[in-house]
Chains A and B, each alone.
Chain A
Amino acid sequence: MSSNVSEKTHSLGTPFSFTSENLKTYEELLTRYDDVESALLPVLHLVQEQINWLPTEAIAYVSGLMNIPEIKIKEVISFYDMFYDVPVARNMVHVCTNITCSMFGGREIYQGLLKHFDTDYLTPTRDGRISLQKMECLGACEMAPCMRINNDYVGPVDLTAAIQKLEELP
């Protein structure tokens, strides 16, 4: 693994804290809300920007920082599809399997990608590059079948094009 990779991953058992830059962002986030709790979603997003997912050490850190019980934070994490309590790869790929996308083969693309990369829902590929997640309507049905690669929408795609795009990821 390159150093670039290890920067964004987190090994279990090691403590987590925000980088000094993210700590500044955290302070700025708090100013937007009339109470601390309301900043929880943006703060969890910020943790994931730093290390991709939300390990127990990060939950403990956020709990201490915001004075919210860990169990509450865990509940919140499990409610939302885009918060990950399992390790995910540095490239997150969302494949839409809702109505319009499925009409144009979205499900076959998702299954095809799992097979090609020999992986499962969210499980990072063996080289640690990619996690795949099937998603509900991504709000871009005119691009059906579509997917999100990290934060960018692509579509329409077929399986071959999808594989090629993912193979190009760092």
Chain B
Amino acid sequence: MERVMEKDTANYKDFTLLSYHHIPGVHNLDVFERAGGYEMMKACFEKDPEAIKEEVKNSGLRGRGGAGFPTGVKWGFFSKDRNAKKYLLCNADESEPGTFKDRFLVEKNPHILIEGMIISAWALGTQKGYIYIRGEFYQQAMILERALKEAYAKGYLGKNIMGKGFDFDLYVHRGAGAYICGEETGMISSLEGKKGQPKLKPPFPAIKGYRGLPTMVNNVESLAAVPWIMRFGAAEYKKFGTEKSAGTKLFSISGDVNKPGVIEVPLGTSLKEIIEVHCGGMRNGNKLKAVIPGGSSAPVLNADDSYSVKMDYEDVASKGSMLGSGAIVVIDETRNMGDILKYTLEFYHHESCGQCTPCREGTGWMESIFKRRETGKAAKSDIELLDKTAASMRGQTICALADAAAMPTQGMIKFFRPELEAYVTTNVNSNKR
């Protein structure tokens, strides 16, 4: 964020996603275009769709929604039949606690997503697309609606785009407050006008998705990376990041740092650098205690691991956690990990869609320990039970929410068992921080 920017032209040197962010008014189509926007869309219409897919595959871009599955490989599973009805669905649900990067990207620069989606639609041969955005992001949805209108007026969306005989309609669809709609099959149920309940995979949405038809679901950040990759090529993209974690990534950083916010850095940047250089160090000069490195589903790292980890998919995994959505929550020595776990478990219980018994009952039971604590009825042994319950929930359910609740619970117990045991047996009223 501190790096020097060229004025009014995109800074493609240091950034792939935020390259336009310094330009005033870049949410307007004309400003975006003057800075180089939509050039790649036009160039891509001259390219073979298969070549575009190949370039994205070679770039090593991995899905930025959390799972990190290679985008180009997923695109490879998608029907090549350009006459078949297929959908492109952008996941802008962004509800994983700690995550706010997609909001930051889209509210300043909606057109980079739209350009990325048009190129992707051309490559994939989809005629219709939706941007599923969480209901709370009303203003961001309006920014997107306005940008779409501009793109339609320019003939970049709609029928026979730029005279290429290619049709692509793109709409914003607002959710209504449910974390589970971020899970791709839950999102599809929700788009179909139903409860946002996930469906068993396979079949994967790429084969059988929205309305039973092939549907490509990609995160905002994944789709927005496409124009840069097409402009400079896979080889240039791979110069950012590590061998297996190519490119740059947006990180949302919150908690006990001086400057919380969104940054774009190459994958593999050390967490220490992110905290100390990009986020201005620890709040009040306090000591770091722990970091949640990839959203609330990611197991916590202790101080030692936090200071040695590099933020790429492999290195974070090697510490027993995951890069996830790139949501970093920094926790200092003044915090009680019992509080953090309690907030986390309340969240998962509230958001379980209730279809699977291990998830519905498991999240409820885990949360109940913290409820019992309030009446002085929780025991030290409850932490052991908590660990066992979490273990029993894993790999048993329709979607990954149950795992997402179990993993951070077990991670927390691994590093902070004595603190948690003390926490649940402490009289609530005497435990004001």
Which of the candidate stretches A4-12, A19-27, A39-47 sits at the interface with the other chain?
Answer: A39-47
- Is A168 among interface residues, defined by CB-CB distance under 8 A? no
Q: Once the chains bind, are A75 and B176 in contact (CB under 8 Å)?
A: no
Q: Taking the nearest CB of chain A, how far is it from the CB of B241, in angstroms?
A: 24
Set of chain B residues within 8 Å of A41, measured between Cβ atoms: 173-176, 190-191, 193
Q: Can you name the residue of chain B whose Cβ is closest to the Cβ of A48?
A: B176
Partner of B103, one of A45, A140, A151: A140
Contact A38-B191, Cβ < 8 Å, known A100-B98, A135-B136:
yes
Bound CA–CA A40/B96 (angstroms): 25
- Is B315 among interface residues, defined by CB-CB distance under 8 A? no
Q: Can you name the residue of chain A whose Cβ is closest to the Cβ of B97?
A: A137
What per-residue 1/0 map shows which CB atoms of B112-133 lie under 8 Å from chain A?
0000000000000000100000
Set of chain A residues within 8 Å of B335, measured between Cβ atoms: 103
Which of the candidate stretches B50-58, B66-74, B253-261, B368-376 sits at the interface with the other chain?
Answer: B253-261
Q: Once the chains bind, are A37 and B195 in contact (CB under 8 Å)?
A: no
- Is B65 among interface residues, defined by CB-CB distance under 8 A? no
Set of chain B residues within 8 Å of A100, measured between Cβ atoms: 97-98, 254-255, 329
- Is B150 among interface residues, defined by CB-CB distance under 8 A? no
Contact A142-B194, Cβ < 8 Å, known A42-B173, A136-B351, A137-B347:
no
Partner of A98, one of B134, B194, B347: B347
Set of chain B residues within 8 Å of A135, measured between Cβ atoms: 136, 177
- Is A115 among interface residues, defined by CB-CB distance under 8 A? no
> B30-63: which have CB < 8 Å to A?
none
- Is B318 among interface residues, defined by CB-CB distance under 8 A? no
A-B residue pair count with CB separations less than 8 angstroms:
132
Partner of B98, one of A40, A42, A137, A152: A137
Bound CA–CA A83/B181 (angstroms): 15
Give the contact-size bracket for chain B: 35 or more
Q: Can you name the residue of chain B whose Cβ is closest to the Cβ of A77?
A: B176
- Is A81 among interface residues, defined by CB-CB distance under 8 A? yes
- Is A166 among interface residues, defined by CB-CB distance under 8 A? no
Contact A76-B329, Cβ < 8 Å, known A142-B100, A142-B261:
no
Set of chain B residues within 8 Å of A90, measured between Cβ atoms: none
Bound CA–CA A102/B338 (angstroms): 13
> B241-285: which have CB < 8 Å to A?
252-256, 260-262
Set of chain B residues within 8 Å of A139, measured between Cβ atoms: 94-95, 99-100, 103, 134, 136-137
Q: Once the chains bind, are A80 and B177 in contact (CB under 8 Å)?
A: yes
Q: Once the chains bind, are A34 and B128 in contact (CB under 8 Å)?
A: yes
- Is A86 among interface residues, defined by CB-CB distance under 8 A? no
Q: Once the chains bind, are B196 and A98 in contact (CB under 8 Å)?
A: no
Q: Once the chains bind, are B193 and A141 in contact (CB under 8 Å)?
A: no
What per-residue 1/0 map shows which CB atoms of A74-111 lie under 8 Å from chain B?
01100111110000000000100111101100000000
Set of chain A residues within 8 Å of B191, measured between Cβ atoms: 38, 41
Q: Once the chains bind, are B254 and A136 in contact (CB under 8 Å)?
A: no
- Is A68 among interface residues, defined by CB-CB distance under 8 A? yes
What per-residue 1/0 map shows which CB atoms of A138-158 lie under 8 Å from chain B?
111110100010011100000
Partner of B195, one of A32, A79, A138: A79
- Is A35 among interface residues, defined by CB-CB distance under 8 A? yes
Q: Once the chains bind, are A102 and B99 in contact (CB under 8 Å)?
A: no
Q: Taking the nearest CB of chain B, how far is it from the CB of A149, in angstroms?
A: 12
- Is B178 among interface residues, defined by CB-CB distance under 8 A? yes
Bound CA–CA A144/B296 (angstroms): 16
Q: Once the chains bind, are B174 and A141 in contact (CB under 8 Å)?
A: no
Contact A99-B178, Cβ < 8 Å, known A32-B171, A40-B193, A138-B136:
no
Q: Once the chains bind, are B174 and A136 in contact (CB under 8 Å)?
A: no
Bound CA–CA A67/B134 (angstroms): 26
What per-residue 1/0 map shows which CB atoms of B378-417 lie under 8 Å from chain A?
0000000000000000000000000000000000000000
Can you pick out 12 interface pairs between chain A and chain B where the beta carbons lie within 8 Å of each other? A34-B211, A38-B211, A41-B173, A41-B191, A94-B136, A98-B97, A100-B97, A103-B335, A137-B347, A139-B95, A141-B260, A142-B254
Residues on B close to A: CB < 8 A?
85, 94-100, 103, 128, 134-139, 169, 171, 173-179, 190-196, 211, 252-256, 260-262, 292, 296, 327, 329, 331, 335, 339-340, 343-344, 347, 350-351, 353
Residues on A close to B: CB < 8 A?
32, 34-35, 37-42, 44-45, 68, 72, 75-76, 79-83, 94, 97-100, 102-103, 135-142, 144, 148, 151-153
**Which 5 pairs between the two chains have the least Cβ-Cβ distance?**
A81-B177, A40-B193, A141-B254, A80-B176, A82-B177
Query: A80-B196, A81-B178, A142-B254 provided; 20 other pairs, C-beta below 8 A?
Result: A32-B169, A37-B194, A40-B193, A41-B174, A41-B176, A41-B193, A45-B174, A82-B176, A82-B177, A94-B136, A98-B347, A136-B95, A136-B97, A136-B179, A136-B347, A137-B96, A139-B94, A141-B329, A142-B253, A144-B255
